[in-house]
A = this chain, B = another copy of it.
Amino acid sequence: MTRTDVALAQPSVAQTADATRVAVSTVIFTLRRLPGSERFSVALPLVTRTRDPHEGQWALPGGWLDHGESLEAAASRTLAETTGLAPSYLEQLYAFGAVDRSPTRVVSIVYWALIRADEIPDGSVENTAWFDATTLPPLAFDHNEIVDYALWRLRNKVGYSRIAHGLLADEFTLAELREVYEAILDRRLDPANFRRQVEGSGTLIPTDRFRTGSHRPARLYRYNQDVELAERGPLSTRH
C-alpha cells in the first residue's frame, strides 16, 4: 500500500513499502494586498491532501522525485502539477529527514520560490488555496516548521541579495521595490535612505520612463542583469 506525504502525487517507479523514498516540496511566496490594508503581506499556496496520512489537511505542494529528473526539475514539475505555478525564482531550502515525520520513511527535499502576483493564473486551481504566511492553520506533517524556516530564510536573504526583484515586474518604481522589502521585513523603511542604499548598490538601472497617475511621477528602474539575483557561491550556475 502506497502512502504519500504530498498532495496529488504518485510514485513513478516501483518501490517496496520499506524503502526510504524521496519527495520534493516547495514553499512558494508571493505578495498580495489584503483587502482594507495598504501594505502588502506574504502569502503562499497550500493544497488539500486527498489521501492518508493527513487526508483533508493542508500541505505544501509537492510530489515524488522521478527516477530521471533532478531535484530542482522535480520541484518545478510537482509545483506546476499541483498548483499550475511556474516561479521566477527557485532555490533549495533544506532536506528534512526525521524518521517520524511521516508514517513511512520519507526524505523531503524542500525548495522555496518566489512568484509575482501577475504570474499567478486567473481562476482557482482545484484543492489549492492561498494563505497569509504568518497565520497558517495546522498543516500536515512538519510543514508548519518548514514554512517557518522558509520565511526566516526569505527575510534573511532579502537583506543581502536582490531576491526582492523576483517579486517585481521588469520595470518598477523605487516605491514599489520598497513596498516589497517592507512586506517581507514587516516594517517601514525610510524612503530617502532606501533610495540611496539601493541606488548605490549598482543593481538598478534607471530608465527614461516614469510611472504616472498620482502625484509626482516616479522614475522606473530595471534590474542590472550583470548582478546575480542571489549569491549562492560555487553552486550559482548549477542545480
Contact = CB atoms under 8 A, between A and B. Distances in A.
A210 interface: no
Contact of A107 (B13, B16, B22, B98): B22
A69 B99 contact: yes
Contact of A234 (B15, B18, B67, B145): B145
Contacts of A95: 71, 92, 95, 109
A132 B196 CA distance: 43
A152 B92 contact: no
Interface string A17-34: 011111000000000000
Contacts of A156: 233
Task: Give the interface size class of chain A.
Answer: 35 or more
A235 B22 contact: no
Nearest to A66: B20
Residue from A22, A67, A92 with most neighbouring chain B CB atoms (10 Å): A22
Interface string A200-225: 00000000000000000000000000
A14 B18 contact: yes
Nearest to A142: B238
Given A22-B107, A71-B95, A107-B107, 16 more contacts: A13-B19, A14-B16, A19-B67, A20-B22, A20-B65, A67-B105, A70-B97, A92-B95, A94-B235, A95-B109, A145-B234, A145-B238, A148-B234, A149-B233, A152-B234, A156-B233
Interface of A: 13-16, 18-22, 65, 67-71, 92, 94-95, 97-99, 105, 107, 109, 145, 148-149, 152-153, 156, 233-235, 238-239
12 contacts: A15-B19, A20-B67, A22-B22, A22-B107, A65-B97, A70-B97, A70-B99, A71-B95, A71-B107, A95-B109, A152-B233, A152-B234
